[in-house]
Amino acid sequence: MYDAFLLLSFGGPEHPDEVLPFLHNVTRGRGVPPERLAEVAEHYLRFGGVSPINEQCRELVAAIRADFAANAVDLPVYWGNRNWRPMLADTLAQMRDHGIGHAVALATSAYGSYSSCRQYLQDIASARAAVGPRAPVVDKLRHFHDHPGFVEPFADAVAAALSTLDVTQHATTRLVFTAHSIPVSMAESSGPSGGRYEAQLRETARLVAERGAPGLSWDLVWQSRSGAPHIPWLEPDVNDHLEALAKEGVTQVVVSPIGFVSDHLEVLWDLDEEAAATARRLGLGFARAGTPGADPRFVAMVRDLVLERMAPPGDRTRAALGRLGHWDVCASNCCPPPVRSNREGTR
């Protein structure tokens, strides 16, 4: 049925001269003010104008290829991005030239919302149209927010981060999960019945907390908001939440970015720079837990999802793969575009 695997990701600049063109790609048609682009560009320039996400994708691609080879999954592995080289349309053209007809794809987002799910389906359709009649058909794999290969690396990272804090202050330590904020209208329209983005994130948070820090109180908050002030986005922001926790008597926090697959720039800037600075100002102990990246369990999860998709529908059972929660698929009515003005955000 399938003759290739495709990794779909967001993309990022790899040279200072690429930063603004990349941001223009991301925000095209959204009316983001130039001053906001300049502010975000400065974040990239603080890291040499290089986003770590592309190198992280290269590591993941290499690990998937090795895992496929070791487990007799006979699929070549390709990689294409939404916003920067390698662009998805270019990758599909290469796949066409290699004789690929039907690929299965994993997007580097575990959750269901317009920007993290449905938009990737639209990206695939647009790229196929650009390539032309012989463009490969591409089927996107389902959400994986509660798969053990996604949950367990987070849980171990939370436990490791917690071990770096003062054990005598455990009673006043809080586990804070973060994910990318999105417009409230987008959150409300995510999934066939609405609210899927938040519900999936809360389920992931619960699973990670139970395994990585049993008994520790936890919260789910948001980061990386970039929209116009008059448009409601999910709140509270992680920095505002740290302020509130300090007032409640919390003395230490472990911050786990469960909304992200790897430690890309939004994690490094919004958490390791801004949130860590907020914690220092408040006198809070701060430890940031890592993300799955190319963890072998996450890589094995990719193989699980591919084999699951390749199996006859009757064999796609939750028990066969040891899933932890709901059966979520990307259906035709999954994550429709929210009813809103699409004029906010840099992501």
Does 59 count as an annotated binding residue? no
With 60 as the cut, is the pLDDT of residue 316 above it?
A: no
pLDDT at 337: 56
* Residue 183 half-sphere exposure toward CB, CA atoms < 13 A: 21
Q: Determine the average pLDDT of the residues in 83-112.
A: 98
Tokens for 256, please give them. 């786990």
pLDDT in tens, 205-220: 999 999 999 999 999 9
Higher pLDDT, 170 or 36: 170
Higher pLDDT, 345 or 129: 129
Q: Within a 10 A sphere around the Cβ of 320, how many other Cβ atoms?
A: 12
pLDDT at 226: 80
Among candidate residues 283, 274, 164, the one with its CA nearest the CA of residue 213: 164
Which pLDDT band holds residue 31 (cuts at 50, 70, 90)? confident
Share of the chain above pLDDT 70, in %: 90
The alpha carbon of 80 is separated from its chain's Cα centroid by a whole number of angstroms, namely: 15
Query: Which amino acid is it at 225?
Result: R
User: 183 and 231 in contact (C-beta within 8 Å)?
Assistant: yes
Does 266 count as an annotated binding residue? yes
pLDDT at 343: 29
User: 261 and 292 in contact (C-beta within 8 Å)?
Assistant: yes
pLDDT in tens, 281-303: 999 999 999 999 999 999 999 99
With 60 as the cut, is the pLDDT of residue 321 above it?
A: no
pLDDT at 335: 60
Say how far apart CA 119 and CA 82 lie, in whole Å.
9
What is the secondary structure of 155-223 as a DSSP string?
A: HHHHHHHHTTS-GGGGGGEEEEEEEE--BHHHHHTSSTTS-HHHHHHHHHHHHHHHHHSTT--EEEEEE
* DSSP reduced 3-state for 111: coil
Taking CA atoms, 107 is separated from 50, 127, 165, 282, 302, in Å, by 21, 15, 34, 37, 10
pLDDT at 346: 37
Which pLDDT band holds residue 313 (cuts at 50, 70, 90)? confident
Say how far apart CA 18 and CA 38 lie, in whole Å.
13
Higher pLDDT, 208 or 329: 208
* DSSP reduced 3-state for 31: coil
- Mean pLDDT (the chain) is 91
Tokens for 332, please give them. 């035709």
| 191-200: long-range pairs with CB below 8 Å, 24+ | 191/112, 191/334, 191/335, 192/331, 192/333, 192/334, 196/111, 196/112, 196/113, 196/328, 196/334, 196/335, 197/111, 197/112, 197/113, 197/116, 198/234, 200/110, 200/111, 200/112, 200/143, 200/145, 200/146, 200/328
Which pLDDT band holds residue 185 (cuts at 50, 70, 90)? very high
Instruction: Calculate Rg over the CA atoms of the chain.
Output: 20
Does 42 count as an annotated binding residue? no
pLDDT at 273: 97
Q: Which of 70-74, 108-112, 166-170, 191-195 has the lowest mean pLDDT?
A: 191-195
Does 120 count as an annotated binding residue? yes
